[in-house]
Structure 1
Amino acid sequence: MRAAALLLLLASFGADAIVIRDDVPDSRYRLAAAEFPALADMPGEGHGVLIAPGWVVTAAHAVGWQHAVDSVVVGGAPRAVRRIVVHPGYKPPPQAMIDAALKSGDWEAFFAFAAASDDIALIELAEPVADVAPARIYDGRALGKVVRIIGRGATGTGTKGHSLHGPNRTELRQGYNRIDSEDARWIGYRFDAPPKALPLEASIGSGDSGGPILVAVGKQWRVAGLTAWKRGQVEGTELRPGRYGETCYGVRLGSYAGWIEETMASGRDSGETAGR
């Protein structure tokens, strides 16, 4: 069995959402939307986070595959999109690379490509959001910290994983994990099986790309990262996402704080794409 790099929300086999322990009832992972109203829902699947009244941050690939993002849902209401600004360092994986990995079962080249990309984008809204408080970015060290992950995507359990074929938008869930790797671009965590697992240990499943990875600062949850990609399991050429043992990676937002602030302040970026 080899590790496979699985970029979430690829058109060929989708993205990932909250996958849970086998021995804990699903009801304990369910989350009311009011508990984190800054969560943004992309059209169809995928997420982002409201970080300023007029701005949502998300993973670049969560918007890049979609034909158009005219609006996003924040606080239960659709919010019109003015424009999308993709980080100039984002590189979508070549289809030939994906096809070769699917055929051979060898995902190492794909893994290296994904790890070298700046998978982040900003969505400027047509009007500021006045009825939802933006989430604050966490810019400290995350290594060793327990994080909270949130998403509405595909679900399953650590023994069986989840289907590659959807559905990729389900009920809102949350779970927890512990950051065990951190570098300039990424924070990462492993989906452990009991008895090593946290009480509400979780991984991500198809449809969660761009969703928040949260760190507690006092009584406040701040956004340390955005769900992006993972090293799942593959047997032969069969992908088996959502199983115990996979490692998940999120965009480390603190590393992009300068770009985020500059983009929101200046309104200029060579990677701009129309939201309409």
Structure 2
Amino acid sequence: MIRALLLASLLATSTNAAAIVIRHDVDDAQYRIPASELPALVDMPGEGHGVLIAPQWAVTAAHTLPRQGRLEQVVINGVARDVERVVTHPGYRTPPQALIDQAMASGEAMLLVVFLGGSDDIALIRLRQPITDIPPIRLYSGSDEPGKRVTLLGKGATGTGADGHDPRGPNRTGLRRAFNTVTSAYGRWLCYVFDAPPDGLPLEGMLGNGDSGGPVLLQSGAQWQLAGLASWKVVQGNVMTARPGRYGQTACNVRLSHYHHWIEQVISAAPQASDQDGSHAGP
């Protein structure tokens, strides 16, 4: 419970997670979209997302996985899909309880941010049956993300940049789409800032609680490519009282170009009987 509260207050995470927070001066209806806009979007149990990247594989942020028990099913395009195995990156780490307790007692989040910045928050999900009627999203492999406009999608908590969102509110709502501009991309992370009007894009937005693992998309010609996955954000002030999703906050996303080789290695490896519950693969 303490971990969930801290992450909900501090991060754009899921099953502790994140969604779309919008401009205060734009009607919410302009952000809402039908599920048919991205049928490859994966709904994790309860909250959080992933993305279908091959007929039998989806990618998600590792912290969206159940903390206890197995991941049995995910929902893709409104249909429950059985999960065969989960492969978590060997570099994924969860914050030690002592660090969480210190952050909760002091209200100071920076040490936790530093810890999270050194973790590989990514996992792959192999489905029992390949999906043949939904085109997977191709991974973006370039290293030129800074300055590019990205598209964000999510069904989690919502609010406006003027007030943020209530970290205790519902973390699964309707599907929304927003846009932002990448400010930095280095190593594991791809980040952007939620700019207040008039500086932001016409449909500027950022992640809120409930959509970790959700897509950060780049458009290449007529094709969408998956550049990132929602992971965490920096919330200024006391983590117990600050509201996530306000203007000026920075969201950092798993940078998939950094993990391209690991993803290919896992997908091309021979299937194993069961790799769930903390299993790892790769260097």
Is the TM-score greater than 0.5?
Answer: yes
Matched, 1:170 2:153: no
Distance 1:129 1:142 in 2: 30
For the residue of structure 1 that corresponds to 2:24, the secondary structure is: coil
Structure 1 residue 103: Cα displacement:
1.7
Matched, 1:45 2:47: yes
| 1:254-269 equivalence runs, <5 A | 254-267=257-270
Structure 1 residue 64: Cα displacement:
4.5
Structure 1 residue 192: Cα displacement:
0.6
Per the alignment, do residues 20 and 34 of structure 1 end up closer, same or farther by CA in structure 2, a change over 3 Å counting? same
Structure 1 residue 114: Cα displacement:
0.4
Indicate if the aligned counterparts of 1:7 and 1:114 stay in contact, CA closer than 8 A: no
Distance 2:224 2:239 in 1: 40
Indicate if the aligned counterparts of 1:5 and 1:231 stay in contact, CA closer than 8 A: no
Per the alignment, do residues 240 and 264 of structure 1 end up closer, same or farther by CA in structure 2, a change over 3 Å counting? same
Matched, 1:121 2:142: no
Matched, 1:82 2:89: no
Per the alignment, do residues 151 and 267 of structure 1 end up closer, same or farther by CA in structure 2, a change over 3 Å counting? farther
| 1:1-276 equivalence runs, <5 A | 6-9=10-13, 14-65=16-67, 67-140=69-142, 141-235=144-238, 237-267=240-270, 272-274=275-277
1:78-101 Cα distance to aligned partner (Å, 9 max, x none): 110001100000001112212211
Distance 1:186 1:238 in 2: 26
Following TM superposition, the consecutive aligned residue runs of length 4 or more in structure 1 with deviations greater than 4 angstroms are none
Indicate if the aligned counterparts of 2:140 and 2:257 stay in contact, CA closer than 8 A: yes
Distance 1:35 1:236 in 2: 35
Distance 2:268 2:169 in 1: 38
Indicate if the aligned counterparts of 1:45 and 1:168 stay in contact, CA closer than 8 A: yes
Indicate if the aligned counterparts of 1:104 and 1:237 stay in contact, CA closer than 8 A: no
Per the alignment, do residues 268 and 204 of structure 1 end up closer, same or farther by CA in structure 2, a change over 3 Å counting? same
For the residue of structure 2 that corresponds to 1:111, the secondary structure is: helix
Q: TM-score, normalised by structure 2?
A: 0.90
Q: TM-score, normalised by structure 1?
A: 0.93
Distance 1:143 1:150 in 2: 19
Structure 1 residue 68: Cα displacement:
3.1
Distance 1:274 1:93 in 2: 17
Q: Which has the larger share of strand?
A: 1
Indicate if the aligned counterparts of 1:5 and 1:111 stay in contact, CA closer than 8 A: no
Structure 1 residue 5: Cα displacement:
8.8
Kindly tell me the number of residue pairs found equivalent between the two proteins. Answer: 269
